[in-house]
Amino acid sequence: MKMNVGIVGLPNVGKSTIFNALTETAKAGVANYPFCTIDPNVGIVNVPDERLYKIAELEKSKNIVPATIEFVDIAGLVRGASKGEGLGNQFLANIRQVSAIAHVVRCFDDPDIIHVEGSVNPVRDAEIIETELILADLQSIEKRYERSAKAAKTGNKEAKFEVQVLEKAKAILEDLKPLRTNLDKFEEEEIQWLTRTLYPITIKPLMYVANIPEEDLPEGEGNVYLQQLKEKAKQENAPVVVLCGKVEQELIELPKEERQEFLNALGLKEPGLNRMIKTGYALLDLITYFTAGEKEARAWTIKRGTKAPQAAGEIHSDIERGFIAAEVINYDDYIKIGSMQKAKELGMVRIEGKEYVVKDGDIMYFRFNV
């Protein structure tokens, strides 16, 4: 399933550096001036999951295929983007296409790196982007509202429903609040209609990525900018991923066998990008199930709440169409036993039908007939 995270922020906050490190490429241009990135860069990134490698080791799988998530590096937005400043309309259109947002915020001082606002202030910087996204949503909501209101006057039931939803959204946006922090004001069908019809940017789940200096690693304790950003994020119930873009870039330039030693020296257990990938995965409410055997161990991405036949459809539509049952064992039980064969012998592998809701960490084998 295609789910992606758009990386946004002001120019020169480290978006492209982080994107390049994520994808281990030099695809996104990096320079000390605004709008170095014009067209969005897209990268497919493996989701770090130690469970897959443990399963592959126990099953002696010849091939390992991790789950993936797509990241999109979107050019820096500036104040006035919703009115077209800095090619804003083009960039805002790109953001509408992503499933979730990673908002990179600069939490470091460096006189050699230009700041478009003239100084570092993470809350102000975050609010500039937030305001532009709110205003962009408000424009599209108002445009649709005019059309729906005219149709509603003729007694059109669909239009009446639309007006009701649009009025709620309009009131929130006019108060300069993002829709995602006010979802409790909508019914589920209203949220679905909004998302499917207008692709509002501020309804998308969001995480903040705090780009801190190397000297503040590992956790950024004592970094005043980071504390300010965390306070804002707490009010919005948004996660904050802390990393140093410069260090992440240096890390991928090292041979793989030397990377852990480099991380250890900085007091880090894993790259900050791993946390960013995992947070993006969680933000999209995704889970992983596994298939495993001698030929291959593979992680599959599905939305939480997916039933077994639809999960099977991620492998092939024929398996979903001809689904009979699924043989299932969860990862924790599997690890205690040590092999799929032994689990079957002990009767630990369950047979589940069409209504079974797949759990994160399930190891599955599908029975089907086409």
Predicted local distance difference test score (pLDDT) of residue 358: 98
Give the pLDDT band of residue 84 (cuts 50, 70, 90).
low
Give the pLDDT band of residue 11 (cuts 50, 70, 90).
confident
In this prediction, residues 284-296 reach a mean pLDDT of 95
Tell me: pLDDT of 311 over 70.
yes
CB 268 within 8 A of CB 217: yes
Tell me: pLDDT of 32 over 80.
no
The closest of 180, 152, 182 to 164, measured between CA atoms, is 152
**What structural domains and CATH numbers belong to the chain?**
4-283 (3.40.50.300), 305-368 (3.10.20.30)
In this prediction, residues 195-202 reach a mean pLDDT of 94
In this prediction, residues 265-276 reach a mean pLDDT of 93
| 313 Cβ neighbours under 8 A, 6+ residues apart | 319, 320
Predicted local distance difference test score (pLDDT) of residue 83: 65
Give the pLDDT band of residue 34 (cuts 50, 70, 90).
very low
**What whole-number percentage of the chain has pLDDT above 90?**
79
Tell me: pLDDT of 246 over 60.
yes
Predicted local distance difference test score (pLDDT) of residue 131: 93
In this prediction, residues 274-299 reach a mean pLDDT of 94
In this prediction, residues 243-247 reach a mean pLDDT of 96
- Residues annotated as binding site for ATP? 12-17
Lookup: tokens for 155: 């007694």
As a whole number of angstroms, the distance between CA 49 and CA 329 comes to 18
CB 93 within 8 A of CB 6: no
Query: How does pLDDT run across 114-169, given as a tens digit for each residue?
Result: 888 899 999 999 999 999 899 999 999 999 999 999 999 998 999 999 999 999 99
Beta strands 296-303 and 63-65: pairing type?
Answer: parallel
Chain centroid to CA 217? 23
In this prediction, residues 246-254 reach a mean pLDDT of 94
- Residues annotated as binding site? 12-17
Q: What is the DSSP letter of 307?
A: B
Q: Mean pLDDT lowest for which of 5-9, 22-26, 284-288, 338-342?
A: 22-26
Give the pLDDT band of residue 310 (cuts 50, 70, 90).
very high
Tell me: pLDDT of 178 over 80.
yes
Tell me: pLDDT of 79 over 50.
yes
Q: Which helix (H) or strand (E) holds 143?
A: helix 122-152
- The whole-chain average pLDDT of the chain stands at 90
What string of DSSP letters covers 196-229? HHH--GGGS-EEEEEE--GGGTTT-TT-HHHHHH
Backbone angles phi, psi at 278, to 5 degrees: -65, -40
Q: Write the burial class of residue 221 (CB in 10 Å: 0-12 exposed, 13-18 middle, 19+ buried).
A: exposed
As a whole number of angstroms, the distance between CA 239 and CA 364 comes to 31
Give the pLDDT band of residue 78 (cuts 50, 70, 90).
low
In this prediction, residues 218-223 reach a mean pLDDT of 94
Tell me: pLDDT of 349 over 80.
yes
Tell me: pLDDT of 229 over 70.
yes
Predicted local distance difference test score (pLDDT) of residue 323: 98
Predicted local distance difference test score (pLDDT) of residue 116: 85
Give the pLDDT band of residue 39 (cuts 50, 70, 90).
low
Predicted local distance difference test score (pLDDT) of residue 117: 86
Tell me: pLDDT of 1 over 80.
no
Secondary structure of residue 78 in the 3-state scheme: coil
In this prediction, residues 259-278 reach a mean pLDDT of 94
The closest of 245, 240, 223, 246 to 275, measured between CA atoms, is 240
